[in-house]
């Protein structure tokens, strides 16, 4: 009795679901997006700095966006000296940067208030000068120092 056997088939590959960290990058995509070499991404992955990295069915590494950000990389950030694209959102700031920004904004408000005050004082001084008569002379300087005092070099 010969039994017919079904040929063995490889199971259908299951699509890799995006990790909890959001978008998944291949090593090449991560390197290009972060402005570093592919070897840098490979070394960091080998060192375990991307805990959410996983291999796809073809064996290629996929690195979650959250792991790149946690490791200090900034995908799609402008290269130093390059202007950010028109309408691009600023990179996310950490709490320390936000606190510093709030502090600097408070200093700017204080300095603007002081500047406005000084400008008002200057305007008042200019108005007072314009109100003086054209030929008015300055008050006379006192002659010989203060009354009742003798100069120290004249004894007598």
Q: Which residue has the tokens 């056997």?
A: 5
The model's pLDDT over 78-102, given as tens digits with 9 standing for 90+, comes to 555 555 556 655 665 677 888 888 8
CATH classification at residue 60:
1.10.1660.10
- Indicate whether 100 and 62 sit together in one domain: no
Average pLDDT on 101-121 reads: 92
Is 5 among the domain residues? no
Is 115 among the domain residues? yes
Is 81 among the domain residues? no
Report the number of distinct structural domains present in the chain. 2
- In this predicted structure, the answer to whether residue 43 has a pLDDT above a threshold of 90 is yes
- In this predicted structure, the answer to whether residue 110 has a pLDDT above a threshold of 90 is yes
Residue 36: is it exposed, middle or buried by C-beta count within 10 angstroms (0-12/13-18/19+)? Answer: middle
The model's pLDDT over 132-143, given as tens digits with 9 standing for 90+, comes to 887 666 666 666
Is 141 among the domain residues? no
Output DSSP code: residue 66: H
- In this predicted structure, the answer to whether residue 19 has a pLDDT above a threshold of 60 is no
- Indicate whether 28 and 65 sit together in one domain: yes
- CA of 35: how far to CAs of 68, 80, 129, in Å? 12, 10, 62
Is 30 among the domain residues? yes
Average pLDDT on 37-52 reads: 92
The model's pLDDT over 52-75, given as tens digits with 9 standing for 90+, comes to 899 999 999 999 988 888 888 888
The radius of gyration of the chain from alpha carbons, rounded to an integer in Å, stands at 38
Q: Which is nearest to 30 in space by CA: 57, 67, 78, 58?
A: 67
Is 110 among the domain residues? yes
- Indicate whether 32 and 62 sit together in one domain: yes
Q: What is the pLDDT of residue 4?
A: 66
Query: What average pLDDT does the structure give for the chain?
Result: 77
Is 31 among the domain residues? yes
Q: Name the 3-class secondary structure at 62.
A: strand
Q: Which is nearest to 40 in space by CA: 73, 70, 69?
A: 73
The separation between CA 26 and the C-alpha centre of its own chain, rounded to angstroms, equals 27
**Residue 31 belongs to what domain range?**
24-70
Q: What is the pLDDT of residue 66?
A: 86
pTM: 0.40
Is 97 among the domain residues? yes
Token couple for 24: 């998944």
Cβ pair 38, 27 in contact under 8 A:
yes
């Amino acid at each position: 009795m010969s039994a017919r056997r079904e040929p063995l088939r490889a199971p259908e590959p299951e699509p890799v679901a995006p990790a909890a960290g959001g978008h998944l990058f291949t090593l090449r995509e991560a390197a290009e997006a972060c402005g570093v070499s592919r070897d840098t991404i490979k070394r960091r992955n080998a060192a375990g700095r991307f805990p959410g990295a996983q291999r796809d069915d073809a064996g290629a590494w996929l690195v979650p966006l959250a792991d790149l950000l946690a490791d200090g990389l900034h995908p799609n950030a402008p290269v130093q000296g390059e202007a950010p694209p028109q309408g691009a959102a600023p990179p996310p700031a950490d709490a320390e940067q936000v606190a510093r920004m709030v502090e600097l904004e408070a200093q700017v408000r204080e300095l603007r208030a002081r500047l406005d005050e000084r400008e008002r004082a200057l305007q008042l001084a200019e108005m007072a000068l314009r109100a003086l008569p054209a030929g008015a002379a300055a008050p006379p300087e006192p002659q010989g120092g203060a009354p009742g005092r003798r100069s120290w070099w004249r004894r007598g």
